[in-house]
């Protein structure tokens, strides 16, 4: 039997926004805790007082908002006000608020008997907008630099085709191809990231032999020119079975191995072990496959360890976009695993991630 639906009314106290109600005489008759916090006033300083006096709101041009709107004496057809950015004198500096007003009339054209104000803190919202703005400008910049070379070389080739030798043309076309690949990869990564951020990343699980996947990837890196002696793959004889998305696991391994070669140095060691880990807080430890990728480079500074998984963070040496590890963490967590970074015994960086062993319940 399903439980009875909870039909208890939701009061203004439950609302995330600040809510304040004034009666027909402009007296504050109700307000919630969010309003007290956002308006930075004491509840008793507001209740029962004239809202126009206790909240002398101004618009951004310094006009007195209550005089401009006048809900109680203004047009009888008004039903409220759309959201506006308003300023309220504060202790040290004005408080920026987004305010929406709804007027309630007991009958058609009757005088207003309730004014309901909804208030939101504008600073915190502006902060998210600023973060979005920074993200957009980083993405735009990352996309523009490879496209500038694509555009530059194609324009030059089209205009002066006959003046270049075959070798020069080949070089330009190779650069164009390389940069076009970079744009494609970047767009694919950005799409994956937006899926991760929205919790919509699809993980198509099936039994995956992570050791073979790792060896295959290493073989491919060797085939494309990396020295075979640079890699060592060690695996326990009995590894737990893992249900995962093979393409995503390859993406994780590829990013970690590529980082170890590009940002690290010396031999890159990949260890696959069985282990156990608490994956759900409060639950017992579960069997996991543990994968670690270590190198012999300079490693990552203590101060940067927390930052490596943030998007667009990259160290002193540029070259990458700083999306790789953000993506890797998202992919590992989408599989129910964990990833950490530390220092390898050899002094280089060591990335260690886990994947839950055995099939998840819903997979037959």
Query: Which residues of the shown chain bind ligand ATP in the complex (CB under 6 A)?
Result: 255, 259-260, 263-264, 295, 297, 300, 308, 313-315, 320-326, 349
3-11, 48-56, 315-323, 330-338 -> range binding Mg ion (CB under 5 A): 315-323
Cβ at position 147, least distance to ligand ATP in Å: 17
From ligand ATP, Mg ion, none, interface partner of 264 (C-beta below 5 to 8 A by class) = ligand ATP
Q: Exposed, middle or buried by CB within 10 Å (0-12, 13-18, 19+), for 337?
A: buried
Between 58 and 138, CB nearer to ligand ATP: 138
Interface residue with Mg ion among 152, 287, 320, 347 (CB under 5 A) is: 320
Cβ at position 308, least distance to ligand ATP in Å: 4
Q: Which of residues 258-277 bind Mg ion (CB under 5 A)?
A: 259
Is residue 218 within 8 Å of 231, Cβ to Cβ? yes
Is residue 71 within 8 Å of 115, Cβ to Cβ? yes
**Phi, psi of 222, rounded to the nearest 5 degrees:** -65, -45
Closest by Cα among 280, 283, 270, 296 to 352: 270
Query: Whole-angstrom Cα distance, residue 208 to residue 363?
Result: 14
Cβ at position 316, least distance to Mg ion in Å: 14
Residues 233-271 as b/e (b if ≥16 CB within 10 A, e otherwise) read eebeeebbebbbbbebbbbbbbbbbbbbbebbbebbbbb
Residue 185 neighbours by CB distance under 10 Å:
13
Residue of closest CB approach to Mg ion: 324
Q: Please give the biggest Cα pair distance in the chain.
A: 86
Cβ at position 254, least distance to ligand ATP in Å: 10
Compute the C-alpha angle 249/255/256, nearest 5°: 90
From Mg ion, ligand ATP, none, interface partner of 38 (C-beta below 5 to 8 A by class) = none
Is residue 176 within 8 Å of 149, Cβ to Cβ? yes
Bridge-based pairing of strands 268-277 and 231-235 is: parallel
Cβ at position 322, least distance to Mg ion in Å: 8
From ligand ATP, Mg ion, none, interface partner of 322 (C-beta below 5 to 8 A by class) = ligand ATP
Query: Whole-angstrom Cα distance, residue 24 to residue 26?
Result: 6
Closest by Cα among 92, 101, 28, 112 to 59: 101
42-50, 147-155, 205-213, 323-331 -> range binding Mg ion (CB under 5 A): 323-331
Cβ at position 12, least distance to ligand ATP in Å: 45
Between 275 and 342, CB nearer to Mg ion: 342
Cβ at position 255, least distance to Mg ion in Å: 5
In three-state secondary structure terms, 239 is coil
25-33, 190-198, 252-260, 350-358 -> range binding Mg ion (CB under 5 A): 252-260
From Mg ion, ligand ATP, none, interface partner of 308 (C-beta below 5 to 8 A by class) = ligand ATP
Interface residue with Mg ion among 264, 324, 348, 356 (CB under 5 A) is: 324
Cβ at position 195, least distance to ligand ATP in Å: 17
From Mg ion, ligand ATP, none, interface partner of 337 (C-beta below 5 to 8 A by class) = none
Residue of closest CB approach to ligand ATP: 320
Binding site for Mg ion (CB under 5 A): 259, 320, 324
């Amino acid at each position: 039997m399903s439980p009875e639906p909870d039909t208890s009314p939701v009061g203004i106290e439950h609302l995330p926004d600040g809510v304040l109600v004034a009666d027909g005489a402009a007296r504050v008759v109700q307000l919630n805790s969010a309003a007290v916090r956002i308006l930075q006033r004491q509840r008793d300083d507001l209740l029962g007082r004239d809202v126009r006096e206790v909240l002398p709101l101004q618009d951004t041009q310094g006009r007195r908002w209550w005089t401009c709107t006048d809900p109680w004496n203004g047009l009888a057809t008004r039903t409220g006000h759309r959201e506006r950015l308003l300023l309220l004198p504060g202790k040290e500096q004005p408080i920026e608020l987004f305010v929406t007003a709804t007027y309630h009339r007991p009958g058609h054209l009757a005088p207003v008997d309730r004014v309901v104000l909804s208030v939101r803190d504008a600073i915190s919202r502006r902060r998210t907008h600023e973060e979005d703005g920074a993200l957009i400008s980083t993405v735009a910049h990352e996309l523009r630099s490879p496209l500038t070379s694509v555009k530059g070389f194609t324009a030059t080739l089209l205009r002066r085709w006959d003046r270049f030798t075959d070798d020069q043309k080949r070089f330009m076309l190779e650069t164009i191809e390389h940069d076009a690949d970079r744009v494609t990869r970047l767009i694919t990564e950005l799409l994956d990231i937006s899926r991760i951020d929205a919790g919509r990343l699809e993980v198509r699980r099936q039994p995956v032999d992570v050791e073979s996947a790792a060896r295959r990837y290493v073989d491919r890196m060797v085939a494309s020119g990396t020295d075979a002696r640079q890699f060592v793959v060690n695996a326990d004889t009995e590894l737990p079975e893992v249900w995962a998305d093979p393409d995503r696991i390859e993406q994780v391994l590829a990013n970690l191995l590529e980082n170890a070669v590009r940002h690290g140095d010396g031999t890159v060691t990949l260890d696959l072990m069985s282990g156990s880990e608490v994956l759900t807080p409060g639950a017992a430890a579960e069997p996991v496959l543990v994968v670690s990728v270590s190198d012999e480079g300079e490693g990552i500074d203590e101060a940067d360890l927390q930052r490596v998984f943030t998007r667009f963070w990259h160290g002193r040496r540029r070259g990458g976009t700083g999306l790789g590890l953000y993506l890797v963490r998202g992919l590992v967590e989408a599989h129910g695993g964990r990833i950490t970074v530390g220092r390898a015994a050899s002094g280089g960086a060591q990335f260690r991630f886990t994947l839950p062993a055995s099939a998840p319940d819903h997979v037959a």
